[in-house]
Amino acid sequence: EADIYQTPRYLVIGTGKKITLECSQTMGHDKMYWYQQDPGMELHLIHYSYGVNSTEKGDLSSESTVSRIRTEHFPLTLESARPSHTSQYLCASSGRETQYFGPGTRLLVL
């Protein structure tokens, strides 16, 4: 079954640690996205990719970085986590207009 996966689902980590949030999709979509969502707030785009070796920053400024070496894989990395990075991170992919989301990673930085 075609789907989109995110790991870990939950992560509690100390300040200054490097973390990588994983996102993989089996739908063969070229476009992939990372959003940040705080409770009760709208989704904000932080990164997107149109294909392999194509990444751009979104509307919301973020200290994270992304890479797209394989079509199906779009990891997000924080080199040095801070409490301000505490949030839910959502990965999505799309073929045409409709974006399909993964289950999300809830990150807590102490």
Partner 1 sequence: EDQVTQSPEALRLQEGESSSLNCSYTVSGLRGLFWYRQDPGKGPEFLFTLYSAGEEKEKERLKATLTKKESFLHITAPKPEDSATYLCAVQAQVILTERGYQKVTFGTGTKLQVIP
Size of the site for partner 1 (CB under 8 A): 25
> Using the rule CB under 8 A, is 103 a contact of partner 1?
yes
- Residue 81 CB, shortest distance to partner 1, in Å, is 20
- Residue 84 CB, shortest distance to partner 1, in Å, is 20
In this structure, which amino acid lies at residue 82? R
Start-end of H helices in the chain: none
> Using the rule CB under 8 A, is 5 a contact of partner 1?
no
- Residue 74 CB, shortest distance to partner 1, in Å, is 14
- Judged by beta carbon, residue 17 or residue 106, the one nearer partner 1 is 106
Sequence-distant (6+) residues with CB within 8 A of 41 are none
DSSP state of 61: -
Judged by CB under 8 A, the chain residues 7 through 66 that form the site for partner 1 are 40-43, 45, 48, 50, 56-59
Residue 74 backbone class (left: φ over 0; alpha: ψ -120 to 50; beta: rest): beta
Start-end of H helices in 29-84: none
User: What is the rounded distance in angstroms from the CA atom of residue 31 to the CA atom of residue 99?
Assistant: 9
Q: Which residues contact partner 1 (rule: CB under 8 A)? A: 6, 40-43, 45, 48, 50, 56-59, 88, 90-92, 97-104, 106
